[in-house]
């Protein structure tokens, strides 16, 4: 039985809507960059929405994720609000990280997002450590480590997959193969089989169409539930595509990929269109309803962008706050026991 059999029309519509939220967020972020309203630059998740949504829809807010420099999609899918996200992108005080992290470091720990990471593969240790904590404290939460095909070049990933397998940790390594590491095709940089790398550590590995949110959901649901039972770790290769360049400023891309290729993925393999068509074919929604969903989200995004543009920057006094966490004054134990 497919785990989708237990899903209602509302669940499927929520997946659609979450994917639209990511796309809409990115469209607005891109506009902010192009109109020079956003400091720095950012990396668009557009095209990969089914990956983040298909996986995060199977998680609870107790479950953790680690994200990447291309992290807005994971953040939205894990439950973040537009307002705090746009504030963060614009360096405003009301951002998720008080404007100190920016696009590449958004963390939303209330929803279990341990943060985006600007070092490729840099969060593989953190995700594995979060799974270690869960097992150590006998909790049943699961951690998903999102990373791109580029991170397959980092040794850290292999070190922690080895330990995760030795120690049976509840972590799922979700490799989003969007075909390019920065400006270079994956096949020029990764030798041999991608999933065999995980299998060599005794980790069960799977490959799935990352444009099909229902397929991603199905697989993730099974693996998350197995990881909860102590059967982890797992590795998933999600085949997907990055619509934009490596970052928003990567406009002329023809030296590494063709316009025809981009057009094919957008026209034939778009995760939102595919899901919308399926909802209509199944009679779960009609065109008008889906248009209404998209319009509502666009309006919500516009409101959040306007809010963020007007929001205050952090005060200058904030600059040296949060370098260190406060530690309560310590005194010798009096036989007390801190759990």
Residues that bind other proteins (CB under 8 A): 64, 66, 95-101, 105, 107, 109, 114-115, 117, 119, 122-134, 136-137, 143, 155-156, 159-160, 162-163, 166, 321-327, 330-333, 336-339
H or E, element range at 215: helix 213-228
Q: Which two tokens stand for residue 195?
A: 């999933």
Please identify, using beta-carbon distances, which residue of 147 and 265 lies nearer to other proteins: 147
As a whole number of angstroms, the distance between CA 274 and CA 211 comes to 8
Please identify, using beta-carbon distances, which residue of 78 and 242 lies nearer to other proteins: 78
**φ, ψ at 64 (rounded to 5°):** -105, 155
Q: Which two tokens stand for residue 184?
A: 């270079």
Please identify, using beta-carbon distances, which residue of 84 and 209 lies nearer to other proteins: 84
Rounded least distance, CB 314 to other proteins, Å: 9
As a whole number of angstroms, the distance between CA 265 and CA 244 comes to 12
Please identify, using beta-carbon distances, which residue of 160 and 279 lies nearer to other proteins: 160
Please identify, using beta-carbon distances, which residue of 200 and 284 lies nearer to other proteins: 200
Rounded least distance, CB 40 to other proteins, Å: 14
Rounded least distance, CB 5 to other proteins, Å: 33
Residues 6+ apart with CB under 8 A from 161: 124, 128, 173, 197, 198, 201, 203, 233, 235
Please identify, using beta-carbon distances, which residue of 112 and 210 lies nearer to other proteins: 112
CA proximity to 148, closest of 114, 180, 170: 180
Rounded least distance, CB 94 to other proteins, Å: 10
**What is the length of the chain?**
339
Q: Which two tokens stand for residue 117?
A: 């990471």
Helix 271-281 and helix 9-34: axis angle, to 10°? 150
Rounded least distance, CB 143 to other proteins, Å: 8
Rounded least distance, CB 333 to other proteins, Å: 5
Q: Could you tell me the CA-to-CA distances from 216 to 120, 130, 132, 207 in Å, in that order? A: 23, 23, 25, 10
| Partners of 234 in beta bridges | 172, 204
Q: Which two tokens stand for residue 90?
A: 């614009």
Please identify, using beta-carbon distances, which residue of 281 and 325 lies nearer to other proteins: 325
| Partners of 236 in beta bridges | 174, 206
Rounded least distance, CB 123 to other proteins, Å: 8
């Amino acid at each position: 039985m497919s785990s989708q059999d237990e899903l209602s029309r509302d669940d499927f519509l929520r997946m659609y809507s979450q994917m639209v939220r990511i796309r809409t967020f990115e469209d607005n972020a891109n506009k902010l960059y192009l109109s020079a309203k956003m400091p720095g630059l950012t990396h668009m998740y557009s095209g990969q929405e089914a990956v983040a949504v298909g996986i995060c829809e199977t998680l609870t807010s107790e479950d953790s994720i680690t994200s990447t420099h291309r992290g807005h999609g994971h953040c939205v899918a894990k439950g973040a609000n537009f307002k705090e996200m746009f504030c963060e992108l614009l360096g405003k005080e009301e951002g998720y990280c008080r404007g100190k992290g920016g696009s590449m470091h958004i963390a939303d720990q209330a929803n279990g997002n341990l943060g985006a990471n600007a070092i490729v593969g840099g969060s593989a240790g953190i995700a594995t450590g979060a799974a270690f904590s869960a097992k150590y404290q006998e909790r049943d939460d699961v951690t998903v480590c999102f990373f791109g095909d580029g991170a397959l070049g980092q040794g850290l990933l292999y070190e922690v997959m080895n330990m995760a397998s030795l120690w049976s940790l509840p972590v799922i390594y979700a490799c989003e193969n969007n075909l390019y590491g920065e400006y270079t095709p994956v096949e020029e940089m990764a030798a041999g089989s991608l999933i065999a790398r995980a299998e060599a550590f005794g980790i069960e590995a799977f490959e799935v169409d990352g444009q099909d949110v229902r397929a991603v959901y199905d697989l993730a649901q099974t693996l998350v539930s197995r990881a909860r039972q102590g059967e982890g770790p797992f590795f998933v290769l999600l085949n997907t595509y990055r619509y934009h360049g490596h970052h928003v400023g990567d406009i002329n891309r023809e030296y590494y990929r063709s316009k025809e290729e981009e057009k094919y993925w957008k026209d034939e393999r778009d995760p939102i269109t595919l899901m919308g068509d399926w909802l209509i074919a199944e009679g779960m929604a009609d065109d008008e309803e889906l248009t209404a969903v998209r319009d509502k989200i666009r309006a919500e995004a516009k409101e959040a962008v306007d809010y963020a543009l007007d929001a205050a920057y952090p005060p200058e006094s904030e600059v040296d706050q949060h370098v260190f966490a406060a530690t309560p004054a310590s005194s010798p134990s009096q036989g007390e026991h801190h759990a």
